[in-house]
Chains A and B, each alone.
Chain A
Amino acid sequence: MEPVARLDNNHELTLKEFPFLIKWRDDRCKRCGRCTAVCPMFSITPAVIAKRVVSSSGATPTPHVERQVVTVIKQSTNIGNYCTGCATCSLVCPNEAIEPEYNPNNKFLIHKNAAGGAYTRGGRRNDPLVSTLDRLKFTRISMLTDPALDAGRHEFRIRTYLGRILPAEELPVKFVNGSGEMDASGGKFIPPVREIYPVMIGSMSVGALSPTMWEGLAMGITYLNEVEGMPVVMCSGEGGMPLRLLKSRFVKYFIPQIASGYFGWDEIIRAIPHMVEDPCAIEIKYGQGAKPGDGGLLMAHKVLKLISEIRGVPQGVDLPSPPTHQTKYSIEEAVAKMIQSMSMAWGFRVPVYPKISGTRTAKAVLNNLVRNPFAAGLSIDGEDGGTGAAYNVSMDKMGHPIASNLRDCYLDLVKQGKQNELPLIAAGGVGKKGNLAANAAALIMLGASAVSIGKYIMQAAAGCLGDENNRCNVCNIGRCPRGITTQDPKLYRRLDVDKVAMRVVEVYKALDTELKKIFAPLGRSTELPIGMSDAISADDPAIAERLNISYVC
């Protein structure tokens, strides 16, 4: 006779297919239900099972069998409710009764296309291997022939320039009695240049980030500037900036970004007459290292009142940014015009630079910018960058590592003698394994004038749970368990804005000390060691050859 339900459950997934398996301990669990309430994926649910319980008691224990109905925690085998390993359940459990465990044998990607939907997520490239940046070390240690500096005692100027720097030959200067004076008579345009801290916070939008997260970052960098005297700047990301910030004197620490959706720019343009300070710079985003060729998408459920006001759009609608700027048909004309228009909006007082994703065509972009007198720099975002939402395939399989991309561009500038004219900003995976200062310094020695960070600061300042084993990485669904990438007040109130700001300050102060610790033994203190490639080596001959640095073993 055929059973009512087939016993083989053939079309269900087994838990072994899933990337994280929940280890729940019956003996510790007091059935408070906190874990199931907090799980952003609804991966775990309270369930009731009937089970046979054998117990013995009494002076001469006699086994006693009983059928009991007990409550348990059950992990879902529905692919849509996969456990992300975020460990929020462990965080709230009072008895350490539950934790996710990574399952290296999972077949997640094979099944995560249910209903024909390609897998989308947030986060980063899921590649837990050591990046090129972490294979570089600083090997030029000054000692007896060239005394090392003392990181604690000597004065270090860890500063860089953002903006196009005129070559000395083109500076309009005259000498009167042997003293140099700038000569304005010829009407020569001198591009604006900002002196900033060489590690900046890269573009993460209000919208992708929760209000508490974005404001926490903003408060942190403002404190660094105003109190600590460290000119750290931050890019807004696409989607505008709060109006009161635009009209405040603190706007000079921010880089508003314009991207293909132009979100927030009606409001920014309307605020220009009321601005008391110029912004630090303007970034035009043409690509993002984490998801080259993929546009942005702010899902309708993230477009609440605040976001709709800042972006100038109705509430509750999906906000897609096209993968490319629809108005851009060529770099020589349209991009040049866009740079020029943005410069013109602030009377040519604000540096305007494009950001592209790492690509083998970066040198072509670079060379166009070199010829454009209004281009203030080039930001290159490597494949290890982060994003709030993208297709998994774009994140995992598209893109170019930053190290060789940056190095090629720098050496190309050197060939043309323009290495000091157009600053290169490198991003994408800086601090991937936590070595923020070392990665930043290595990029600087490979030729970057500045570096941008994103994921690192999210992890350090707000405890973002994501990692390269696809832990968490659900920034796109509006249910960020840390309250970082959500617009749901219930969730973002978990994040204390002052603590975020405080952590930003702590991170930068520690970073500053570590950078000094790297630069001191190299003997460099007056200017950044940009392009000082004799100071670094790779532990892999192929990397060394590709980057034109020495190999050590």
Chain B
Amino acid sequence: MCRLSAITAKDYFSPVENILTLETMKEGHDGSGMGLILKDLGGEFESLKDKPVLSGICSDAGLAALNRYMDAAGFTLVHTWTPKIKPVRGITARDNYFARVYDYPKGINDLSLDKKEALLLKTRLTLRKMGESDESIIVFSFYPDVVTLKEVGDPLELCEFFGLDDSTLKAKIIFAQGRQNTNYAINLYACHPFFIQGFGSMTNGENTAFVPIREFLASRGFPGYIGYNSDSEVFTHILHYAARGLNYPLHYYKDIITPLKPTEIDKRPDKAFVGHLKKSLRPLCIDGPNCVIGFAPDGTCFMVQDSKKLRPGVVGGKKGKISLVSEECGLNRAVPDRDANKDIFPMRYDMVIVSPGAEEVKVWNQLQGWTTTMN
């Protein structure tokens, strides 16, 4: 079972905090990989917030091809961050790891965010396709104010490998996953967290209903719903589809993945809508066991469980710094000076929602509605 560590804070912090949190939960991951997403970037990226950042890994040839493509597409490179690779035994370094900040091609800057996002997605998918067969180009995200880093190995060793402890890389939201490889081959595209157009999520557990969900998403006609090297990638795409494709408020994500029974729906004030939602989005119902931790473009973070099997998951912290992790010991490492009595272990009907900047924590219960636990 994978280990998850997400931290959202009012101030910038280093990903080392997430990695040390993963380290305390080490029993659960087997070093088959780590993924990091940093959102709301500080440090050298702070002044470049509006510009898209391309995160990925390339061979030398792949990088040359990538450069040719980006030039031709009219993107201008403004800034490059590359980790200072320190050789670590057991980790085979690839040629180039990077987060590169670009300026939009001419005429794009004035377009709506929607159009810009469509272009960024198209570019990322094209690059992914270009380098997929020989793994010469691997791109994880291409989006403003977001950096993604993934590699196979133990989180602490990867931290050293990437030199994160003395790097300037900082952010206000950081998601990290220590991977426990199960039934899929190790592939960097299978490594959580997953990201699409401002939405990200990571999961521990297996997704029983993966095939029908994948078929449903892939047939939505949205170009970004591809990949699925991991059965957990669908959770990110369901989130994107619900909040972005359908414009549903975030908490309906819970009603989609764990729909209530008709007798329960009848007690809801929004029963007419929830009844239709249950039918129309039936193929997106999950059956667990999953704990999903995610974020939305505005920086809201959340944690949900499936409705029956449940995976470990706890949310806790203090105003200005909240952590959403898979194990309590991780929480003790991430925010040791919190009031542990206020930790929230979401149950089958709950969705814990943390507002941007870790200002407020609310619990949405499918039957009871909202409760604010911290503000």
Q: Which residue of A lies closest to B280 (CB)?
A: A168
> Is the Cβ of A419 less than 8 Å from the Cβ of B258?
no
- A533 interface residue (CB < 8 Å to B): yes
Contact in complex: B208, A522 (CB < 8 Å): yes
Q: Do A533 and B211 have beta carbons less than 8 Å apart?
A: yes
Residues B258 and A526 in contact, CB atoms below 8 Å apart? yes
Query: In the bound complex, how far is the Cα of B277 from the Cα of A173, in angstroms?
Result: 10
A530's closest neighbor in chain B, by CB? B212
Residues of B with C-beta under 8 A to A417: 216, 219-221
Neighbour of B251 across the interface among A178, A181, A195, A529, CB < 8 A:
A178
Interface string of A168-185 (1 = CB under 8 A from B): 110101010011111000
A145–B212 touching, CB < 8 Å = no
Type the 1/0 row for A334-349, where 1 means its CB is closer than 8 Å to any CB of B: 0000000000000000
- Residues of A close to B276: CB separation below 8 A: 166, 171, 173, 182, 190
Total contacts A-B at CB 8 Å: 120
Q: What string of 1s and 0s marks CB contacts (under 8 Å) between B102-129 and chain A?
A: 0000000000000000000000000000
Chain A 129-167: CB-based contact to B (< 8 A → 1; otherwise 0): 000000000000010011101000010010001000111
Q: Given A168-B246, A532-B209, A195 and B262 touching (CB < 8 A)?
A: yes
Q: Are A149 and B308 in contact (CB under 8 A)?
A: yes
Q: Which of chain B's residues has its CB closest to A166's CB?
A: B280
- Cα A522 to Cα B251 in complex, Å, equals 28
Residues of B within 8 A of A531 (CB): 211-212, 215, 283
Which one of B208, B247, B249, B258 contacts A142 once the chains associate, using CB atoms below 8 Å? Answer: B208
B285 contacts A by Cβ under 8 Å: yes
Is B212 touching A154 in the complex (CB atoms < 8 A)? no
Residues of A close to B258: CB separation below 8 A: 526
Known: A157-B261, A533-B211. A420 touches B308 (CB 8 A): no
Assess the A530–B308 pair: CB atoms within 8 A. no
Instruction: Kindly provide the distance from the CB of A73 to the nearest chain B CB, expressed in whole angstroms.
Output: 59
Decide if B287 is an interface residue (CB 8 Å cutoff): yes
**A341 and B203 alpha carbons, distance in the complex (Å):** 49
Contacts of B302 in A (CB 8 A): none
Residue numbers in B under 8 Å from A161 (CB-CB)? 279, 282
The residues of A that contact B15 with a CB separation of less than 8 Å are none
The answer to whether B252 and A180 touch across the interface, beta carbons within 8 angstroms, is yes
Q: Are B259 and A527 in contact (CB under 8 A)?
A: yes
Q: Assess the B282–A529 pair: CB atoms within 8 A.
A: no
Interface residues in B245-300 (C-beta closer than 8 Å to A) = 245-249, 251-252, 258-259, 261-262, 269-270, 272-274, 276-277, 279-283, 285-289
Interface residue from B183, B272, B283, B286 paired with A182 (Cβ < 8 Å): B272
Question: How far is B183's CA from A414's CA once the two chains are assembled, in angstroms?
Answer: 25
A416 within 8 A of partner (CB): yes
CB neighbors of B among A511-525 (8 A): 522-525
A414-B219, A416-B219, A526-B258 given as contacts; is B283 within 8 A of A181 (CB)?
no
B205 at the binding interface (Cβ < 8 Å): yes
Is B154 close to A, CB under 8 A?
Answer: no
- In the complex, the answer to whether A523 meets B215 with C-beta atoms within 8 Å is no
Query: Nearest residue in A to B220 (C-beta to C-beta)?
Result: A417
Neighbouring A residues of B210 by C-beta, 8 Å: 534
Give every chain A residue within 8 A of B262 (Cβ-Cβ): 195
Q: Once the chains are docked, how many angstroms separate the CA of A508 from the CA of B212?
A: 27
Chain B residue, CB-CB nearest to A531: B212
| Interface status of A415 (Cβ within 8 A of chain B) | yes
- In the bound assembly, the distance between CA atoms of A219 and B251 in angstroms comes to 44
Q: A157-B261, A417-B221, A523-B288 are in contact. Are A180 and B277 (CB under 8 A)?
A: yes
Per the bound structure, the CA–CA distance linking A166 and B282 in Å amounts to 11
In the complex the two chains form, is A142's CB within 8 Å of B273's CB? no
Residues of A within 8 A of B269 (CB): 179
In the bound complex, CA of A34 to CA of B307 (Å): 62
Contacts of B249 in A (CB 8 A): 175, 178-180
Q: Are A165 and B280 in contact (CB under 8 A)?
A: yes
Whole-angstrom CA separation of A190 from B280 in the bound complex:
11
A195 to B283, CA, bound (A): 15
Q: Secondary structure at chain A's binding surface: helix, strand, loop or mixed?
A: loop
Q: Which residues of B contact A306 (CB under 8 A)?
A: none
Q: Which of A378-424 contact B (CB under 8 A)?
A: 414-420
Q: Tell me which of B215, B262, B277, B285 has the highest count of chain A C-beta atoms within 10 A of its own C-beta.
A: B215
One of B208, B277, B281 near A146 (C-beta < 8 A): B208
Determine the distance from Cα of A190 to Cα of B245 in the docked complex, in whole angstroms.
20
Q: Is A527 a contact of B285 with CB atoms below 8 Å? A: yes
Partner of A180, one of B208, B221, B273: B273
Assess whether B309 is interfacial by the CB under 8 Å rule: yes
A181 CB contact (under 8 Å) in B219, B252, B273:
B273
Kindly state whether residue B327 has any CB partner on chain A within 8 Å.
no
**B182 interface residue (CB < 8 Å to A):** yes
Residues of B within 8 A of A532 (CB): 209, 211-212
Contact A419 B307 (CB under 8 A): no
CA distance A417 to B273 in the complex (A): 22
Q: Is the CB of B211 within 8 A of A145?
A: no
Contact A529 B209, CB 8 Å, known A161-B282, A165-B282, A420-B282 = yes
Closest B residue to A163 using CB positions: B279
A299 part of interface (Cβ distance < 8 Å): no
Is A193 among interface residues, defined by CB-CB distance under 8 A? yes
- Min C-beta distance of B73 to chain A, whole Å: 29
Q: Which residue of A lies closest to B261 (CB)?
A: A157
Report which residue of B258, B261, B285, B308 has the largest number of chain A beta carbons within 10 angstroms of its beta carbon.
B308
Q: Nearest-CB distance from B252 to chain A (Å)?
A: 7
Residues of B within 8 A of A168 (CB): 246, 277, 280-281
Contact of A524 with B270 in the complex, beta carbons under 8 Å: no
CB-based contact A525/B211 at 8 Å: no
If A145-B183, A532-B212 touch, whether A419 touches B251 (CB-CB below 8 Å) is no
Contact B309 A147 (CB under 8 A): yes
CA distance A180 to B215 in the complex (A): 26
Cα–Cα distance between A417 and B281 once the two chains are bound (Å):
12
Q: How far is the CB of A84 from chain B (nearest CB, A)?
A: 45
For A534, the chain B residues whose CB sits under 8 A away are: 210-211
Docked Cα-Cα span, A106 to B258, in Å, equals 59
Bound complex: CA A464 to CA B285 (Å): 40
Q: Quick one: given A166-B276, A531-B211, are A146 and B289 in contact (CB under 8 Å)?
A: yes
**Contacts of B216 on A, CB cut-off 8 Å?**
417, 419-420
CA distance A157 to B287 in the complex (A): 12
- Of residues 411 through 440 on chain A, the ones whose CB sits less than 8 Å from some CB of chain B are 414-420
Query: Shortest beta-carbon distance, A519 to chain B, in Å?
Result: 9
Which residues of B sit under 8 angstroms from A145, Cβ to Cβ? 182-183, 206
User: Bound state CA distance, A179 and B246, in angstroms?
Assistant: 14
List residues of chain A with CB within 8 A of the CB of B182. 145
Q: Which residue of A lies closest to B251 (CB)?
A: A178
Q: How far apart are the CA atoms of A420 and B261 in the complex, in Å?
A: 18
Given the complex of chains A and B, what is the CA–CA distance between A415 and B249 in angstroms? 28
Task: Give the residue name and chain of the B residue nearest to A416 (CB).
Answer: B219
Contact A420 B280 (CB under 8 A): yes
Measured CB to CB, the nearest residue on chain A to B258 is A526
Contacting residues, chain A, for B246 (C-beta < 8 A): 168-169
Instruction: Report 18 cross-chain contacts, Cβ distance below 8 Å, ordered by A residue.
Output: A146-B208, A154-B308, A161-B282, A168-B281, A169-B245, A169-B246, A180-B248, A181-B272, A414-B219, A419-B216, A419-B219, A522-B208, A525-B308, A526-B286, A526-B308, A527-B209, A527-B259, A532-B212
- A sample of 8 more A-B contacts (CB under 8 A), given A157-B261, A526-B307, is A149-B309, A166-B280, A178-B249, A178-B251, A180-B277, A522-B208, A526-B259, A529-B209
Q: Which 9 A-B pairs have the closest CB atoms?
A: A180-B273, A417-B219, A146-B206, A523-B208, A168-B280, A527-B285, A531-B212, A178-B249, A182-B272
